[in-house]
Structure 1
Amino acid sequence: MIMERERLTAGAFAESIGVAQATISHILGPRNKYPSTEVILRLHQRYNDINLEWLLTGEGEMSNTPDSSIESGFDYPLFAENAVNPSEVTSHAENRKEIASETPVNVPKEIVKQEIIYKERPPRKITEIRIFFDDNTYETFKPEK
C-alpha cells in the first residue's frame, strides 16, 4: 500500500528504505506475508507519517495525518483480507525447474601454449662456512683452493 501511495517499484521502494530488493520480493510473495521488525522500523524511519501501530498490527489508520487516507484511497487495515492478500493460500507448493533464457553460444577457447626453458647454471662452490656458538662467538672455515 505504501508502494502504491508513493508510486514506487519494488526495487525503488527497497532502495528507499535501505533493504535488499529480495527482502521486498519475499514480503510481497505468497509464502512470507509479514515483514521483519527491522524492515518495519526502516520503513517507519523513512516514511515517518505512517502510523507505527498500523505497520506492526495492521489496525488503525495507515497515516498519522488525518486527511492522507482519504486522499490516497487507503482506508482499510493493512492485514485485511482482499484479492491481493487472501487469508488462506490456495495454491500448493510445486517443484519448478530452472529454464535457461537463452542457449549459450560455445565460443572456442584460445589454446595457450607454454614453453619451459631450463637454463643450466654453472656449478656452485662453497666459499665460506660459519658456525655460531651459544656464547655469541663463531668460527669461519674456508675451503682450500
Structure 2
Amino acid sequence: MSIKDRFKMIMDREQLTAGAFAESIEVAQATISHILASRNNPSTEVILKLHKRYNDINLEWLLTGKGNMSNNSPSVENNGFDYPLFADNPENPSNEPSTPENRKEIALEAPVNTPKEIVKQEIIYKERPPKKITEIRIFFNDNTYETFKPEN
C-alpha cells in the first residue's frame, strides 16, 4: 500500500474531499492533488501538518504502512469490523429461507417489434455565382504595400 493510499484512507475515514482535506491540514489543494495522482510524495512538512491535525494517526503507519492506522483503534485491515465477510448480520438479517428451493423459470412475453419510421432526407444544392477577385495586396517588410486589381 502506497502513501497515496494511506492518505485516501484518512480522507475516507474523515469523509473529506481532497479540497476539504487540504484545507483541514492547511496545505494547498494542488499539494494533495499531486500526492493522490502519484506525481509527488508528501513532504515532511505535509506529513507533520497531517499528524498535527489528526494526532491519532500512527506516524509509523502513515510513513511505512506497518501497524495500525490509528493509535486508538485495534486494527486497520478490517476497518474496526471483526466479523467474517459472510457472517450473519444481526442488524440486517437475511429474509431468505434457510433451505434452498427449486424455482422454475417463467417465460417472458415475446417482445413486440414495432416497425421503425423511415426517415427520408432530401439535400438541396444551391448554386452560387462564382467569386471574382477584386483586389490583391502584397505587404513588404518595410511597411509598404502594392495593390493589384484585375482588368475587367
User: Where on the TM-score scale, by shorter chain, does this alignment land: which range?
Assistant: 0.3 to 0.5
- Greater RCO structure (CA 8 Å; 6+ sep): 2
TM-score normalised per structure 1: 0.45
TM-score normalised per structure 2: 0.43
